[in-house]
């Protein structure tokens, strides 16, 4: 550590920038000095044109001039990058979102349950409830929410996007399949709420151990959900307990294969899913099935309807369509209660697709598009348990927000009922962003169904335009650009161009194995806030000489060392089992605790 390292916009030695309040009477410091110059340690790609020292915050503060210089530089950067951006499925800048500016003077906090007013009165829960009703109706749920009616929907607007929606779904599904129930003990001075969980019977030891299934095209948040909530994936359980019995033959795949693998459209292979689910259901495990409706990289749709209809008879054969669960109230151990529950949970990750697909169907019914409507995915299907979506993807917002929705009868009940906030703690976060519900409501109040359809058709036209333009570039430069598109999606993926182009347009890059060859791809998303001019600009750059020349990266973006850390840790745990390495570079005989997404689709 050195107080002599230059720090802050004036490049004075750090110790000279230190506020006297941080110096103890004996001359020692109350705070630590930098051990290296952060400007040299952190990654500041030249392309960003950001001056690292502008942002180092000295404890004596900035001059007004320095603050302005830093903010101006940041504004210029953000404006340029936002204008050029065409890589990800986010939309922003809509006039309906500008309304947010007028509400920044209040701390809008929708803490607690959306349907129960709490003690914190500066909230927008009436807007939140109406946003939720809108989507409940669109997704064919029974609405409005009614605590007394288990068939009605229940949901909330998330603080994060679909990562939180997925997390909540896995939590909800896990507890439901583990047979947990909430009990409130009212015999004491204060009511005490606890979870009770039945013990499995000796002949059905797996009855309350759910196993999770999702496809290789799924979002990396699923892996985190499993890790955080300690839920078994079929891969983990299969490799640990049945290494030689994978029903697909060979080694257990880490995820359910997608149709046609990397070369396919990205939807889950239903036959393989069936075989994998049956293997575990036959052993008495309940199944937690996570499906995609608009996957991250390819925009692919799992055929939810067909999956439910195919799996249900098989689940029924194994007594897993519905089952009786015996719950015992600790205060009345002699009067067990029998409750009926499904032995499976189907969650739909509709981060992008669930928010616009209903409008695709309306456009089709109106004869405004010939594109076939997508498969049904929503609460009209009795086997769908939960759905989530990301509001910043569709319709768009200037920050992350989302919806988690389930049926009231399946609702996860809170382990506590804090008197502190006065509203049941049914959501994941504590404080929840009330401005999110406000901007979302503001969008819905300004866009009719017709306007949503127009917006979608505009995006689809842009997709068609971009596809045709890419084909022209391909013909002009005489190079196969591996252009690909999943019908109904708003994305096109093609050969990865050079790093300057990836940076300029914020393209999302990934690699796929096609015909045994590892190929680099990028995708673009043609969201409704983009124009033909955005496409034209990209095409012009793709036409330039060297556009598709691979560059050496100055710096590895992903810290590969992480994998080594994991390996070391596992090796310690499994000492003595090591015999060589598998293709993931892990020692053979050592199973990763879970597959950490170093390079998953859409991760970068």
Ligand X SMILES: *Cc1c(COP(=O)(O)O)cnc(C)c1O
Residues contributing to the site for ligand X (CB under 6 A) = 160-163, 219, 221, 292, 295-296, 349, 351-352, 390, 400, 402
Least distance from C-beta 326 to ligand X, angstroms? 36
As beta bridge partners, residue 512 has: 519
Q: Which C-beta is closer to ligand X: that of 113 or that of 302? A: 302
Q: Which C-beta is closer to ligand X: that of 55 or that of 485? A: 485
In angstroms, the CA 322 to CA 310 distance is: 16
Alpha carbon separation from 516 to 268, 272, 512, 513 (Å, rounded): 20, 21, 9, 6
Q: Which of 302, 308, 310 is nearest to 267 (CA)?
A: 302
Q: Which C-beta is closer to ligand X: that of 281 or that of 512? A: 512
Side-chain half-sphere of 303: how many Cα atoms within 13 Å?
A: 13
How far is the first Cα of the chain from the last one, in angstroms, to the nearest whole number? Answer: 33
Parallel, antiparallel, or unpaired: how do β-strands 211-213 and 287-292 relate?
parallel
Radius of gyration of the chain (CA): 27
Q: Nearest to ligand X by Cβ — which residue?
A: 161
In angstroms, the CA 453 to CA 400 distance is: 23
CB 233 within 8 A of CB 592: no
Least distance from C-beta 111 to ligand X, angstroms? 20
Q: Which of 602, 480, 492 is nearest to 548 (CA)?
A: 480
- For residue 20 the two structure tokens come to 């006297």
Least distance from C-beta 16 to ligand X, angstroms? 42
Least distance from C-beta 126 to ligand X, angstroms? 24
Residue 284, sorted as left (phi over 0), alpha (psi -120 to 50) or beta, turns out to be: left
Alpha carbon separation from 253 to 159, 213, 235, 516 (Å, rounded): 33, 11, 6, 17
Least distance from C-beta 352 to ligand X, angstroms? 6
Least distance from C-beta 485 to ligand X, angstroms? 17
Q: Which C-beta is closer to ligand X: that of 177 or that of 490? A: 490
Q: Which C-beta is closer to ligand X: that of 295 or that of 534? A: 295
CB 504 within 8 A of CB 84: yes
Least distance from C-beta 597 to ligand X, angstroms? 12
Q: Which C-beta is closer to ligand X: that of 231 or that of 570? A: 231
Q: Which C-beta is closer to ligand X: that of 277 or that of 351? A: 351
Q: Which of 444, 451, 446 is nearest to 133 (CA)?
A: 444
Q: Which C-beta is closer to ligand X: that of 158 or that of 460? A: 158
- For residue 189 the two structure tokens come to 């001075």
Least distance from C-beta 42 to ligand X, angstroms? 23
């Amino acid at each position: 550590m050195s107080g002599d390292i230059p720090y802050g916009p004036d490049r004075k030695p750090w110790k000279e920038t230190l506020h006297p309040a941080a110096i103890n009477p004996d001359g020692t410091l109350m705070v630590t000095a930098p051990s290296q110059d952060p400007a040299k340690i952190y990654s500041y790609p030249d392309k960003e044109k950001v001056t690292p020292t502008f942002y180092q915050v000295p404890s004596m503060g900035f001059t007004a001039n320095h603050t302005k210089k830093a903010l101006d530089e940041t504004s210029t950067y953000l404006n340029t990058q936002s204008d050029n951006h065409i890589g990800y499925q986010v939309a922003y800048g809509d006039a309906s979102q500008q309304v947010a500016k007028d509400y920044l003077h209040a701390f809008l906090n929708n803490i607690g349950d959306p349907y129960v007013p709490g003690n914190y009165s500066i909230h927008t829960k009436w807007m939140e409830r109406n946003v939720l009703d809108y989507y409940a109706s669109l997704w064919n749920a029974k609405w409005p929410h009614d605590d007394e009616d288990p068939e009605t929907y229940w949901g909330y607007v998330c603080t994060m996007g679909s990562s939180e929606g997925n997390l909540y779904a896995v939590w909800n599904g896990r507890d439901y399949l583990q047979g947990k129930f909430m009990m409130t003990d009212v015999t004491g001075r204060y009511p005490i709420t606890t979870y009770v969980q039945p013990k499995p019977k000796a002949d059905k030891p797996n009855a309350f151990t759910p196993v999770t299934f999702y496809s290789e095209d799924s979002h990396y948040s699923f892996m985190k959900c499993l890790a955080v909530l300690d839920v078994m994936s079929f891969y983990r359980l299969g490799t640990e307990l049945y290494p030689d019995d994978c029903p697909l033959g060979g080694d257990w795949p880490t995820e359910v294969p997608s149709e046609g693998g990397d070369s396919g459209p990205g939807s889950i292979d239903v036959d393989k899913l069936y075989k994998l689910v049956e293997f575990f259901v036959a052993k008495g495990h309940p199944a937690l099935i996570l499906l995609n409706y608009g996957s991250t990289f390819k925009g692919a749709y799992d055929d939810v309807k067909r999956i439910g209809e195919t799996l249900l008879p098989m689940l029924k054969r194994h007594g897993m369509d519905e089952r009786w669960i015996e719950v015992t109230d600790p205060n009345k151990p002699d009067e067990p209660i029998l409750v009926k529950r499904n032995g499976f949970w189907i969650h739909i990750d509709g981060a992008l697709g669930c928010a616009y697909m209903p409008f695709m169907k309306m456009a089709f019914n109106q004869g405004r598009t010939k594109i076939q409507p997508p498969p049904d995915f929503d609460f009209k299907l009795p086997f769908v348990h939960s759905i989530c979506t990301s509001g910043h993807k569709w319709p768009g917002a200037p920050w992350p927000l989302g919806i988690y929705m389930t049926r009231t009868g399946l609702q996860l009940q809170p382990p506590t009922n804090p008197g502190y906030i006065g509203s049941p703690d049914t959501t994941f976060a504590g404080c929840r962003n009330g401005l999110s519900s406000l901007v979302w409501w503001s969008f819905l109040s300004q866009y009719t169904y017709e306007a949503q359809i127009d917006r979608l058709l505009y995006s689809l036209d842009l997709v068609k335009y971009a596809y045709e333009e890419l084909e022209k570039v391909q013909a002009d430069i005489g190079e196969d650009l591996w252009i690909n598109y999943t019908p109904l999606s708003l994305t096109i993926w093609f050969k990865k161009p050079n790093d300057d182009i990836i940076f300029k347009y914020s393209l999302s890059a990934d690699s796929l194995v096609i015909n045994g060859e590892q190929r680099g791809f990028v995708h673009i998303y043609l969201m409704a806030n983009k124009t033909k001019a955005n496409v034209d600009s990209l095409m012009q750059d793709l036409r330039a000489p060297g556009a598709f020349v691979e560059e050496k990266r100055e710096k590895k973006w992903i810290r590969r060392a992480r994998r080594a850390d994991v390996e070391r840790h596992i090796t310690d745990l499994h000492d003595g089992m090591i015999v060589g390495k598998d293709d993931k570079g892990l020692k053979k005989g050592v199973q990763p605790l879970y597959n950490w997404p170093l390079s998953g689709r859409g991760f970068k």
